[in-house]
Amino acid sequence: MRILLLSAVSLIATTAPAFAQDEAFSGVYVGGTFGYSAQNNDVGETIQFDRDLNGSFGDTVVTSAAGAPNAFSPGFCNGRGRTNSVAGGCENDRDNAEYSARVGFDIQDSNVAVGLVGEVGRSRIRDSVSAFSTTPATYTMTRKIDYNASLRVRSGYVAGNNTLFYVTGGVAYAKVDHSFRTTNVTNTFTGRGKDDVWGWAVGGGVEHKLGGGLSMGLEYLYTRYDDDDYRVRVGAGTALPNNPFLLAGAGGTDFRRSASQFDFHGIRTTLSFGF
């Protein structure tokens, strides 16, 4: 993603002098955004299991070699388990602030403006899912964004010379921090998988020129990442061979989230300075 953003900056630097400057939305600009990220309701998300480590998830973890009962019959919740029992409930996923820095350029021809914008920033959302076992114990997988970036086209209509109504869309990237916690102190738990995820972003907004190169706006952006690589391997630790995670093989059991999409809606204000 850094290479893409650097390429965009290079393109801006080399082509900007050729742009006409007599139109309000022609030229290079830098600025930033500040707003709020809200996640989709992911009720029904679960943790899936691969007992024989063949890469196929959807196995049922059982407590006996006879194949029953289900070790996770208490169920799941979309959030962080407060206790080791489903009766303790779950802490909701966190929607939170987001912010970014941006650089871009537009070319305006009559009432139509087309351009490219690159952003680097962060959304402080947190997304968790928990499983509860009959032991009792809780197992929680969490993901947060360390930083994210996007490179998008934007295109719109200029009304009244100084107001741009636009749509925008393009590629998105995030460095995601995956974590796992459990109240199980018998087995070992090892996380693995990529923290670099890719996806796309699409939205729209309005921007108004205030004068002196300054402009202010309001923007909506929907972002979706494909976060399907992270796994947690449950090992033996001090557990006996009849441990539910070891019944299908001494190698243990793999965990993954059932929802591979990590997505959210962003509403933010924008402030830019044009050259």
Q: Rg of the chain's alpha carbons, rounded to an integer?
A: 24
Q: Average per-residue pLDDT in the chain?
A: 91
pLDDT value for 23 = 76
Provide CB contacts within 8 A for 41, sequence distance 6+: 78
pLDDT above 70 (res 257): yes
Give the model's confidence band at 161: pLDDT under 50 very low, under 70 low, under 90 confident, else very high. Answer: confident
Give the DSSP H or E segment for 151. Answer: strand 137-159
Q: Give Dmax over CA atoms of the chain in angstroms.
A: 79
pLDDT above 70 (res 261): yes
Amino acid type, 200: W
pLDDT value for 125 = 96
pLDDT value for 52 = 94
Averaged over 16-29, what is the pLDDT? 67
pLDDT value for 40 = 85
* Residue 218: domain span: 2-274
pTM, full prediction: 0.87
Averaged over 66-80, what is the pLDDT? 93
pLDDT value for 22 = 54
**DSSP letters for 153-206:** EEEEEEETTTEEEEEEEEEEEEEEEEEEEES--SSEEEEES--EEEEEEEEEEE
How many structural domains comprise the chain?
A: 1
pLDDT value for 84 = 92
pLDDT value for 190 = 97
Here the CATH number for the domain that contains residue 111 is 2.40.160.20
